[in-house]
């Protein structure tokens, strides 16, 4: 199959909508990362997403809507807390897990009785959903396990020959996937940190949000994840990544004694001159927004440059930085060394 890359002009949006209505796949930009979209009401179309990504069948997908009218196609009852979060953060990078609705394809929910839904703010994503007229199931448009794509070129690298169309909306502004919160149980639980922080969610709902264990810790063998996506090794470049936790001075000393062929520093912007080995940066040390925006492209750049061993500076763990740390932990297969 030939993969077309088109600027998101009105005729390209119409073409995308036509492919989606006919059960095909289209990669679309969102404010977080690029998504690999299919009609969320069409089980066969959704199965094609899993095949193109090589995604495990038990990992459910997020359905994307363009207006509150579409919510009922994806979810069943909508509790008042969900209404509050929708008012505060939609359209935007927040996904809610709610009791599932009857219309959404079984494959989207991977056998669960819940469905994940979000209303993206990216104008191209919104235009495609509206033109298609149905909710779009869309995981990140990468091969399962590799870093999520934040540019159309990243999508092409993973999906060329597998899908007919990529809409090129430029670089994604946020750069990490949406915050996922479950409102399906007795207490709200943060399943995946993102640009909307735990504190913001608590403020908007006026109650505490629990943090799922899987966010910052490796699941033990046999332990089940509230969010199935959190159990897989994820976002990983080909190189072995280790996070070094400690001061910049300690990091520098460690790098001096570990510098060798194929060893790279994944450091904060501005730290390069003090380091003895090749560096890839991912934003300034005190700017978690920049780190979120840059992390996935930095991981892809390490692959492009042939890195074999990577030592990463450790981000903070609160606010937006929690999302950065959560992704980096998975890229490093939870290898963290205190220096």
Residues making contact with Mg ion (CB under 5 A)? 140
Residue pair 140/105 in contact (Cβ under 8 Å)? The answer is no
Q: Does 197 engage in binding with ligand TXA (CB under 6 A)?
A: no
Residue with tokens 């989207």: 108
- In this chain, which of 116, 155, 204, 298 binds ligand TXA, going by CB under 6 A? 116
What is the nearest approach in angstroms of Mg ion to the Cβ of residue 248? Answer: 31
What whole-number distance in Å separates Cα of residue 48 and Cα of residue 236?
23
What is the nearest approach in angstroms of ligand TXA to the Cβ of residue 113? Answer: 8
Structure tokens at 277: 């080995």
Q: 139 or 283: whose CB is closer to ligand TXA?
A: 139
What whole-number distance in Å separates Cα of residue 55 and Cα of residue 53?
5
Q: Does 114 engage in binding with ligand TXA (CB under 6 A)?
A: yes
What whole-number distance in Å separates Cα of residue 319 and Cα of residue 329?
16
What whole-number distance in Å separates Cα of residue 281 and Cα of residue 242?
15
Q: Does 32 engage in binding with ligand TXA (CB under 6 A)?
A: yes
Q: 112 or 210: whose CB is closer to ligand TXA?
A: 112
Give the binding range for ligand TXA (CB under 6 A) out of 176-184, 244-252, 272-280, 305-313. 176-184
Give the binding range for ligand TXA (CB under 6 A) out of 172-180, 269-277, 285-293, 297-305. 172-180
Q: Does 331 engage in binding with ligand TXA (CB under 6 A)?
A: no
Q: 62 or 190: whose CB is closer to ligand TXA?
A: 62
Size of interface with ligand TXA, in residues (CB under 6 A): 29
What is the nearest approach in angstroms of Mg ion to the Cβ of residue 140? Answer: 3
What is the nearest approach in angstroms of ligand TXA to the Cβ of residue 158? Answer: 13
Q: Does 42 engage in binding with ligand TXA (CB under 6 A)?
A: no
Burial annotation 101-127 (CB, 10 A radius, 16+ → b, else e)? beebbebbbbeeebbbbbbbbbebbbb
What is the nearest approach in angstroms of ligand TXA to the Cβ of residue 312? Answer: 21
Q: Does 61 engage in binding with ligand TXA (CB under 6 A)?
A: yes
Q: Does 35 engage in binding with ligand TXA (CB under 6 A)?
A: yes
Residue with tokens 């070094």: 244
Q: Does 91 engage in binding with ligand TXA (CB under 6 A)?
A: no
**How many CB atoms within 10 Å of residue 222?**
5
Instruction: Output phi, psi for 334, to 5 deg.
Output: 65, 20
Q: Omega before 176 cis (within 30°)?
A: no
Shortest Cβ contact with ligand TXA: which residue? 229
Q: How many helices (H) and strands (E) does the chain have?
A: 11, 16
Residue 191 binds which of ligand TXA, Mg ion, none (CB < 5-8 A, kind-dependent): ligand TXA
Q: Does 229 engage in binding with ligand TXA (CB under 6 A)?
A: yes
Helix (H) or strand (E) holding 128: helix 123-132
Is the Cα dihedral 265, 54, 66, 81 positive or negative? negative
Q: Does 8 engage in binding with ligand TXA (CB under 6 A)?
A: no
Q: Does 20 engage in binding with ligand TXA (CB under 6 A)?
A: no
Residue with tokens 């470049």: 237
SS3 339: coil
Residues 252-281 that bind ligand TXA (CB under 6 A): none
Q: Does 126 engage in binding with ligand TXA (CB under 6 A)?
A: no
What whole-number distance in Å separates Cα of residue 180 and Cα of residue 209?
12
Give the binding range for ligand TXA (CB under 6 A) out of 106-114, 149-157, 159-167, 244-252. 106-114
Residue pair 183/82 in contact (Cβ under 8 Å)? The answer is yes
Chain contacts with ligand TXA (rule: CB under 6 A): 30, 32-33, 35, 59-62, 93, 95, 97, 109, 112, 114-116, 120, 138-140, 177-178, 180, 191-192, 227-230
């Amino acid at each position: 199959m030939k993969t077309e890359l088109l600027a998101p002009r009105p005729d390209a949006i119409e073409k995308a909508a036509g492919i989606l209505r006919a059960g095909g796949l289209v990669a679309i930009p969102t404010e977080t990362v690029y998504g690999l979209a299919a009609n969320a009401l069409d089980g066969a179309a959704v199965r094609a997403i899993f095949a193109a990504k090589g995604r495990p069948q038990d990992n459910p997908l997020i359905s994307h809507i363009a207006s509150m009218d579409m919510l009922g196609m994806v979810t069943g009852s909508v509790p008042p807390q969900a209404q509050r979060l929708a008012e505060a953060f939609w359209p935007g990078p927040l996904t809610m897990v709610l009791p599932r609705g009857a219309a959404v394809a079984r494959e989207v929910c991977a056998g669960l009785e819940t469905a994940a839904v979000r209303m993206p703010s990216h104008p191209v994503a919104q235009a495609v959903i509206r033109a298609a007229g149905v909710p779009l199931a869309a995981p990140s448009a990468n091969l399962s396990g590799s870093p999520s794509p934040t540019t159309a070129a990243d999508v092409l690298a993973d999906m060329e020959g597998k899908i007919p169309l990529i809409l090129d909306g430029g670089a994604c502004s946020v750069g990490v996937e949406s915050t996922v919160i479950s409102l399906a149980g007795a207490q709200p639980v943060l399943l995946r940190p993102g640009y909307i922080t735990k504190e913001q969610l608590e403020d908007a709902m006026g109650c505490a949000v629990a943090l799922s264990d899987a966010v910052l810790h490796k699941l033990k063998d046999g332990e089940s994840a509230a969010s199935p996506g959190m159990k897989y090794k994820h976002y990983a470049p080909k190189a072995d990544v280790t996070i070094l936790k400690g001061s910049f001075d300690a990091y520098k000393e460690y790098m001096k004694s570990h510098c060798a062929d194929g060893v790279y520093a994944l450091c904060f912007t501005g730290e390069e001159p003090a380091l003895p080995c090749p560096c890839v940066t991912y934003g300034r040390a005190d700017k978690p927004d920049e780190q979120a925006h840059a992390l996935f492209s930095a991981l892809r750049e390490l692959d492009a440059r042939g890195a074999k061993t990577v030592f990463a500076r450790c981000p903070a763990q609160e606010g937006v930085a929690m999302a950065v740390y959560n992704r980096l932990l998975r890229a490093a297969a939870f290898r963290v060394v205190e220096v």
